[in-house]
Amino acid sequence: MKLLKQLSVIAGFSIIGEIISYLLKELLDIFIPGSLIGMIILFILLTTKVIKYDFVDDVGEFFVNNMGFFFVPVAVSIMNYFGILAPIWWKLLLIIIISFFLTFVSVGLSVKLTMFIQDKLRGDIDD
Amino acid sequence: MINIFTSPVFYICLTLGLYSLFSFLRGIIKNQLFNPLLLTSISIILYLLVIKSITGYATKETVDIYTNALNFVNFMLSPLTVCLALPIYTRRHIIKQYWLPILVGTIIGCAVSMSSVFILGHFFGLNKEMIYSLLPKSVTTAIAKEISQDIGGIPEITIASVIVTGICGALFGPILTKIFKLDRSASIGMAFGASSHAVGTSKAVEISTRAGAISSVAIVTSGILTVIIALFL
């Protein structure tokens, strides 16, 4: 019963997000996924204590912890693209690896620099 | 007889069973390379290849029977993304304390990740559809799939690239952390979270709890910013 209630709250936010997403698309012609809008609204309502955390915690944490399961069918469908991927898969792999290196290092170093400057300005160091 | 082994109930049972088994083993092995989504998908692909050779169906037909059986999970994808509000809500004090490093890391991460894919994609002569499929590779699966569909990529290839990126994070992240002397929780957490989403985060948690918490926030902030950048594509 509790789980069904929580599921309906979460699904409700997803619907509200979809409606706002539809309106944004129709009225302003910008596309933001409804699920993302639902997420932001839920975050705001949790932070402002309009919605209590225990209204969504069990089902929500279950979804967050087992997210991978829901993507098995999409991942398996890659079989349909084996033909297209056969000649170029190594290019994709190389791009992913190089891009990962660049992203990881640039984020790590820029945040390190940010922290360094912040410490200088504040004059104290907290981890 | 073969009908039983290609029935929806069998496929649902097989997927749930394999995923539970691999999640259980993952708990024992404690290695990020032991990824339940990857291993379940590979096992099912192998199973479907066997089914294909027995029944003589085309690949598309075989895959369609499977995805139709698992259709119910598609209804859950949107509520799933909504639930990403929870990890950032429980870490709101982290956001308050580290808002500047998070902001800087998110912007640099999205900019470098997307522009490098774009440039390298052109360099290797990939078509637009392939480049768009790889663009959201650094963000979490749920958001990456939405972005890919919206900008005209192939969601299946996007999911595969997201998984491979996660594996890169677990494989190379710790070495890069040492080479570039990332010693602060914020720089470690942001680097893992912004470059390799949830898989990287589980590696960051091992280095320090705080790095893990910052990394979890980075997953969501990178997802949001990538969606915003994708608006202009």
Minimal CA separation from A28 to chain B, in Å: 12
Residue by residue, DSSP assigns B112-130 as HHHHHHHHHHHHTT--HHH
Q: Which domain covers residue B203, as residue numbers? A: 85-230
pLDDT of amino acid A122: 77
Interface test with chain A among B78, B116, B202, by most A beta carbons within 10 Å: B78
Q: Indicate whether B127 and B189 sit together in one domain.
A: yes
pLDDT recorded at residue A125: 57
Contact yes or no for B83 and A10 at CB 8 A: yes
- Among chain B residues, CA nearest to A34: B78
Distance CA(B1)–CA(A3), nearest Å, equals: 38
Residue A105 has pLDDT above 70, yes or no: yes
Q: B107 and B153 share a domain?
A: yes
Q: Using CB atoms, which residue from B100, B155, B172 is nearest to A118? A: B100
Burial (0-12, 13-18, 19+ Cβ within 10 Å), A98: middle
List of chain A residues whose C-beta atoms are within 8 Å of the C-beta of residue B13: none
Q: Write the residue in B15, B168, B210 that is nearest to A127 by C-beta.
A: B210
What is the count of structural domains for chain B?
2
- Judged by CB atoms closer than 8 Å, whether chains meet at B85 and A85 is answered as no
Q: Flag whether B66 is in a domain.
A: yes
Closest CA–CA distance from residue B192 to any residue of chain A (Å): 7
B157·A85 Cβ contact <8 A: yes
Q: State how far Cα B144 lies from the chain centre.
A: 7
Extents of the domains making up chain A: 1-65, 78-127
Q: Tell whether B158 and B222 lie within a shared domain.
A: yes
Asked whether residue B221 is domain-assigned, the answer is yes
Give the residue from chain A lying closest to B210, CA to CA.
A127
pLDDT in tens, A44-79: 998 898 888 888 888 888 888 888 888 888 889 888
> Same structural domain for residues B59 and B111?
no
pLDDT of A104 strictly over 90: yes
3-class SS string, chain A: CHHHHHHHHHHHHHHHHHHHHHHHHHHHCCCCCHHHHHHHHHHHHHHCCCCCHHHCHHHHHHHHHCHHHHHHHHHHHHHHHHHHHCCCHHHHHHHHHHHHHHHHHHHHHHHHHHHHHHHHHHCCCCC
Within 10 angstroms of residue B104's Cβ, the number of other Cβ atoms is 20
**pLDDT tens-digit map of B119-128:** 999 999 889 9
Alpha-carbon separation of residue B3 from A14, A79, B40, B57, B84 (angstroms): 36, 21, 22, 13, 39
- State whether B54 and B111 are in the same domain: no
On whether any CB of chain B is under 8 Å from the CB of A64, the answer is yes
Q: Tokens 């259980």 sit at which residue?
A: B24
Residues of B in contact with A59 (CB under 8 A): 83
CB atoms under 10 Å from CB of A107, counted, come to: 33
Domain assignment present for residue B77? The answer is: no
Six-digit token pair at B137? 């590779």
Q: Please compute the mean of the pLDDT values over residues B165-179 and round it to a whole number.
A: 89
* Residue B3, pLDDT score: 80
B126-166 tens-digit pLDDT: 899 999 999 999 998 889 998 998 899 999 999 999 999 98
**Which pLDDT belongs to residue A124?**
61
Contact B88 A93 (CB under 8 A): no
Which residues of chain A neighbour B119 with C-beta distances below 8 Å? none
For residues B151 and B47, state if they share a domain: no
Q: Is the dihedral of CA A9, A15, A21, A26 positive or negative?
A: negative
d(CA B73, CA A2): 21
Distance separating alpha carbons of residues B169 and B175, to the nearest angstrom? 10
In chain B, the percentage of residues whose pLDDT exceeds 90 is 36
**Same domain, residue pair B54 and B104:** no
What's the residue count for chain B?
233
- A115: which residues sit within 8 A by CB, 6+ positions away? B101, B184, B186, B187
Is the ipTM higher than 0.85? The answer is yes
Least Cα separation, residue B21 to chain A (angstroms): 12
Using CB atoms, pick whichever of B109, B137, B194 lies closest to residue A96.
B137
Task: Examine the pLDDT at A94 and tell me if it is beyond 90.
Answer: yes
Contacts of B134 in chain A (CB under 8 A): 92, 95-96, 99
For residue A14, the chain B residues in CB contact (below 8 A) are 78-79, 81-82
For residue A68, what pLDDT is reported? 83
Residue B37 has pLDDT above 90, yes or no: no
A-chain residue closest to B14, CA distance: A72
**CB proximity A65 to B under 8 Å:** no
B162 within a domain of the structure (yes/no): yes
Where does a domain end: B70, B95, B127? Answer: B70
Nearest by CB to residue B159, choosing from A75, A94, A95, is A75
- The reply to whether B61 and B173 lie within a common domain is no
B78, part of any domain:
no
- A14, A38 in Cβ contact below 8 A? yes
Residues B200, B106 share a domain: yes
Q: Is residue B204's pLDDT more than 90?
A: no
Confidence band (pLDDT; 50, 70, 90) for A126? low
Contact assignment for B146 to A35 by CB distance below 8 Å: yes
